[in-house]
Homo-oligomer: A and B are copies of this chain.
């Protein structure tokens, strides 16, 4: 099985722009605009939408309206509406608002976990255990995300064994319904991605696995294809490619949803996503955010959106032929 030909294989595309993307923005996008954005995305065939994060409004003011957004959106059957939750309080809020899934996060490295979450990894894991139990009790799905699974911006390389050990604990001790391996700062490269996903699949052939790539160093799509060839079929992506990285000012963020769908559909994969609709929604982002986005397809158009020939083509041809 080669990644170069999709052969109608199903690839699940999960939108994270409304949480991971907006969280990285300085501007507060008005609640009704967030809801309109998510409602527009809901009808386009995405497998999952990370709607918001039930985080501290003081820590992340741009997501302070999590309740209003989660309650205000229109739910389309077949789409999973997920929310990031950092702790029990967040999980309670998410469950109250009827989230289908809670997304729990910790880092693969001690330094990144301490720097980002102000806890040791074991403390984070202990917290996630409580959150997972609460969610499971409420009949809400649990996804656990491991940050820095492909490298840590402060510690450097992350051993594959470390990643697999945490995945093991997420499965057995947290009862995770699904796991996301996150390339938080765009350090993953195709050889590594292919090897790690292959190792994951050897251990858990059928476990739900998401790959979360950033395009920080331009390797996003190549990493997606390397992962597919190793047996992955779920990918996070962000509308417009929004969601920057604090360690790389000016660099691009998450892999771009429409660019990813555009490439995969051309290659014969079945994403189930309405690409034209996606591009139309993405083109609303610059006005909403006050800046350009990294999306390529939103700018260049789809591959076969052609341009007119010069209006005087026949005159050019006549002049050319007269020259001989």
Residues of A within 8 A of B (CB): 2-6, 111, 114-115, 118-120, 123, 151, 153-157, 186-187, 189-192, 194, 215-222, 225-226, 229, 245, 247-252, 256, 259, 262-263, 266-268, 292, 296-297, 299-304, 306-310, 313, 316-317, 319-321, 323-324
- Which chain B residues lie closer than 8 Å to A156 at the CB level? 304, 306
Interface pair A191/B267, CB less than 8 Å apart? yes
How many copies of this protein are present in the complex?
2
- Which chain B residues lie closer than 8 Å to A115 at the CB level? 309-310, 313, 316
- Which chain B residues lie closer than 8 Å to A302 at the CB level? 217
Nearest-neighbour CB distance to chain B for A298, whole angstroms, equals 9
Query: Secondary structure of the A side of the interface?
Result: loop
- Which chain B residues lie closer than 8 Å to A308 at the CB level? 154
- Which chain B residues lie closer than 8 Å to A309 at the CB level? 111, 114-115, 154
Interface pair A217/B263, CB less than 8 Å apart? yes
Alpha-carbon distance A187/B308, docked complex (angstroms)? 16
Q: Indicate whether A313 sits within 8 Å of B218 (C-beta atoms), given known contacts A154-B306, A292-B250.
A: no
Cβ-defined partner of A303 (8 Å) among B111, B151, B256: B151
Taking A189-B303, A217-B297, A218-B220 as known contacts, 12 extra A-B pairs with beta carbons closer than 8 A to each other, sorted by chain A number, are: A115-B313, A123-B324, A186-B300, A190-B225, A190-B263, A216-B296, A216-B300, A218-B256, A221-B221, A222-B222, A247-B307, A250-B292
Q: Indicate whether A114 sits within 8 Å of B316 (C-beta atoms), given known contacts A248-B301, A267-B190, A299-B250.
A: yes
